[in-house]
Structure 1
Amino acid sequence: MPTVPPRTVATPAPPASSALGHALLIAGDRWNLQIVRAVFDGAERFAHLRDELGISDAVLSQRLGRLIDDGILDTHPYSTAPPRNDYRLTELGDDLWLVFVALWNWDRHWAPWAPDRPVTQLHHRACGYVIAPVFGCGGCQAIGVTARDVRTEVDAPLLVDVADRRSRRTAKSDATGMDSSSVLADRWSTLLLAAALEGNRRFGDFQGRLGPISPVTLTDRLAYFVDNGMLVRTPIVDGARRQEYRTTPKSLDFFPVFAALNAWAARHLAEDGRSGLTIVHNTGGHLLEPRYTCNACNAALHRTDTEFRRPTQRGEQRN
């Protein structure tokens, strides 16, 4: 009797991660954010970055290498003996400007005490005012767009390779105060908030969206956001023991950060121009095109016509 070969069951390939997942991995690191922010402010040399950020040589070298590998920074030699480099933003890195405006704007409202960065003001050269930028849609010129004015369509998993060392936490959660860097301080927190802004509310929904996150880790991150006012627990049915997690004004105000990062990911990290998360502006039913406008002159803001300044500088007008 012929031997029947054992049946081989094909193991399904893991789902491809999204461009947004890759972008969140880059952004979900406190040192990455601080280094890129410092380079935006003009600190381009290793010693300048180390001294300004208070970071060790080893950690700074590691993060600079990652940012170069990710195409955010590149090197420009300024000395050959000994060899020394400036670290400058690439076109891809420079295009993160809108994300940093969104982060700064959120801190201005929700973490004005933030101890790890100087107090800055955004100056619009075109009109001469110190401004409070207003988020909107460049596709229809609408201003004051919020998370309530859009709907999302999920096209691909958020997660990137779970073995990536950047999945480890990079900052200790501290319920005594949360700034934008601590929101993005570790990958799971970043992805959890992204999932919440997509409309996920129940524990099982978050598990399904985030894939390999452990129940313990998910419980920890949900508690962290509840303690810091980013989420609130509510009964699924009045009087029921089961609960769900709803967004708050504090978390909804973080929407421009994700919208800007999502658009950046679609432009630079996706071969097909799709980030994995489609954000549709309900007014007109078109894709949201994140932008900021000046609250003084209503002009669209661009990197080339704006500048972050310390408040000690004189001569600017205030609005």
Structure 2
Amino acid sequence: MTPEPRGLPVRKARRYGERPGIAYLFLSPWVLGALLLTVGPMVASLYLSFTDYDLFTTPDWVGLDNYRRLFADDPRFLASVWVTIKYVLISTPLKLAAALAVALLLNRASRASGLYRSAFYAPSLLGASVAVALVWRVIFDNDGIVDRTLSAFGVDTGGWVSSPRYALLVIVGLAVWQFGAPMVIFLAGLKQIPKELYDAAAVDGAGWWRTFRSVTLPMLSPVIFFNLVLETIHAFQAFTPAFVVSSGRGGPSDSTLFYTLYLYQKGFVEFRMGYASAMAWLLVLVIAVITAVLFWTSRKWVFYAGEGGR
């Protein structure tokens, strides 16, 4: 017969279970931080979005007037929306494509694979820092190394940063250059694909492209979806590169007037905090809708092997 468990552990479990205050004590720093630093400011900004507030006077309730003026009386707002949409649609696919391409190359075993991974990931460690954006601006500015190199071949752009045609491409290039984070995630996903699938494809006579399209992409689709959601959200929130490259003005002819940069100008340059709060909540709503759409469409193209696929 199996001996009965001793009563001491049971009594200990009951004793600890009867003291939930200890758990709440350990949770209290996080709860207080979330309430004071996240939830509280969000509620305050939601209230301010319905007011006329300049940081120095009492907020004056104006209802939906801030939201109405965004679409009816502010052409620069619509310009910032268009610039941000172009940036998201260009930078996100290019960044993911570069990350996936490099991950496929690094997935092949070699003696220097660790060195290559570190080298390709290094730009992402720098993040969206002011120093990196300043260096990037000097490289692409008038008489920068890129401009001088193109001039040697007879191509005169007059400086990418000062050109309305190329200024946005400079910031896109900076975003694509920092593809290390999605690359590492892609590389981890590639390591999880069973080798037997590639062996079966080789037996069937599938070439590289057919194997990539029929094996790699379907098995990697959850990772692609994860990176797509994250990079889309990050692209909508981009601020530092646009601020530094354009010196906080939004570039020539508002060509780099990102949504977040225009929000900063309204809130911290013109001190129209109520108007800026309305812009912030509109951005939150747009990101939430786009994320929901991505999750809804994922049911048609994301393959989960544990669920038998779709």
TM-score, normalization by structure 2: 0.27
Which structure dedicates a bigger proportion of its chain to helix?
2
Higher strand share: 1
